[in-house]
Amino acid sequence: MNKLVQSLGLMVALAATSMLAGCELYFGSHDHSGSGGSTWNYCGSDGYYQCHGDSCTWVSPTCPDPGSSGSGYECTSSTDCAAGCYCASGTCEEGGFCSTNADCGPGYHCNTDRSSCEPDGGSGSGTVACTSDASCPAGQICGPNGTCTATCTCDTDISAVNQGYGYCDESRDTCEPGSDPSGTCAGTPPSTCTTTAPQCGPGEVPLMDSTTGCFNGLCQAYGNCGAAPVCEHIDDEGNCLSRGDCAASYTGLNCHKSDGSACHSGDTGCTCQSFEFAKCSTKPN
């Protein structure tokens, strides 16, 4: 194969990476014959390429050891393998492509950094290499050593807090340390804040930035809070009455005095047709 054809193949690879199914198709045979339909490999400055005719696909950041059998399957971690494959006992195995955990079969999770299904709990060495928490299965986070580390599973902040962690990453059902980046339910904004509380739905409370303590414009269901909000931030009767430190206030509807005239603020002897929850307040000491 002449250099012009090889260069053309590499240009095609850089322009558009073809999608091949299975680790064998990525690594294939090492037939370097000159026929137009042949399969051949190329070790470039940025990694290993698999080519078929004039079309080349980037496969891995590392090239096979020239002194090895040359199969191209060798690996020390899943990052040495093509997308859709993972490293198991030093060999790349097919796992499948994915964008979420739901795309993978039982016992596998989606490493979104590589768009690849990988075994839960790791492969080969028993650990999963990662660059972010999203690379790890539920119940694990990316540790400082670049491997997935077990924490716990959760469905709310309070369940994570009860297990000794800071909050729950509900997108992954995983306990996380530290402060919730989406904000906290607890506390009252300092007077220096300029943001106002958002209009939250029934049963929700406003969130405050974990660093500044000011309202951040977000709301969260009361039952998902990792720390109890102040009574004044509760906007529904049920959650207010469930707290021993809170008192509910009500507004009377269709209220009249004994002579049939409408009641006004400060009037006594009024009878109301019904009442509706107005606000929740902290009980006086």
pLDDT digits (tens, 9 = 90+) for 15-39: 333 333 345 444 443 344 444 455 6
pTM attached to this predicted model: 0.48
- Quote helix, strand, coil % in the chain, to nearest 5: 15, 30, 55
**CB-CB contact of 154 with 140 (8 Å):** no
pLDDT digits (tens, 9 = 90+) for 234-269: 999 999 999 999 999 999 888 999 888 988 877 888
Q: b/e for 197-216, b at 16 or more Cβ within 10 A?
A: beebeeebbbbbbbeebbbb
- Banded model confidence at residue 150, pLDDT cuts 50, 70, 90: confident
DSSP character string of 25-60:
HHH-------STT-EEEEEETTEEEEEETTEEEEEE
Q: Specify whether the CB–CB gap between 267 and 274 falls below 8 A.
A: no
